[in-house]
Structure 1
Amino acid sequence: MIKTIIFDFGNVFIDLDLEEALQYALKTFKIESISDEMIAFNSLYEQGLVSTDEFLEFYTENFPKLSKEELIKVWNYMLKDFPEHRLAFLKELKASSKYKLILLSNTNELHINWIKQHVLFYNDFKNCFDAFYLSHEIHLVKPNKNIFEYVLNENRLKGNECLFIDDNKDNISTAESLAIKTWHINPKTEDVAHLFNIKNHLFD
Structure 2
Amino acid sequence: MIKTIIFDFGDVFINLDKVGANQHALQLFGLDEFPEELIAINTLYEQGLIETEEFIDFYEDNFEGVTRQQIIDAWNIMIQDFPKYRLDFIKQLKAEGKYKLILLSNTNELHINFIKEHVSFYEEFKSCFDNFYLSHEINLRKPEATIFEFVLAENNLNPEECVFIDDTLENTTAAADLGFFTWNNDPKTQDVINLFELKTHLF
Q: TM-score range by the shorter chain?
A: over 0.9
CA offset digits 1:165-186 (Å, max 9, x no partner): 0011111111111110001100
CA offset digits 1:111-161 (Å, max 9, x no partner): 000000011100000000000000000000000000000000000000000
Q: Does 1:86 align with 2:81?
A: no
What amino acid is aligned across from residue 152 of structure 1 in structure 2?
Answer: L
Identity between Structure 1 and Structure 2 (%): 58
- Give the alignment's TM-score, normalised by structure 1: 0.98
- Structure 1 Cα separation of the partners of residues 7 and 94 of structure 2: 13
Q: Give the equivalent residue in structure 1 for 2:189.
A: 189
Q: Does 1:7 align with 2:7?
A: yes
* Secondary structure of 1:48 counterpart: coil
What amino acid is aligned across from residue 38 of structure 1 in structure 2?
Answer: L
CA offset digits 1:53-92 (Å, max 9, x no partner): 0000000001121111110000011110111100000000
Instruction: Report the Cα offset of residue 33 of structure 1.
Output: 1.1
Q: Give the equivalent residue in structure 1 for 2:147.
A: 147
- Give the alignment's TM-score, normalised by structure 2: 0.99
Q: Give the equivalent residue in structure 1 for 2:121.
A: 121
- Structure 1 Cα separation of the partners of residues 106 and 115 of structure 2: 14
Instruction: Give structure 1 stretches of 5+ with no counterpart.
Output: none
- Structure 1 Cα separation of the partners of residues 104 and 32 of structure 2: 32
Q: Give the equivalent residue in structure 1 for 2:60.
A: 60
CA offset digits 1:169-204 (Å, max 9, x no partner): 11111111111000110000000011111112201x
* Secondary structure of 1:186 counterpart: coil
Instruction: Give structure 2 stretches of 5+ with no counterpart.
Output: none
Considering only aligned residues, what root-mean-square deviation do their CA atoms show, in Å? 0.6
- Structure 2 Cα separation of the partners of residues 32 and 181 of structure 1: 38
What amino acid is aligned across from residue 109 of structure 2 in structure 1?
Answer: E
Q: Does 1:107 align with 2:107?
A: yes
* Secondary structure of 1:197 counterpart: helix
Equivalences for 1:17-96 in 2 at 5 Å? 17-96=17-96
Runs of 4+ deviating beyond 4 Å? none
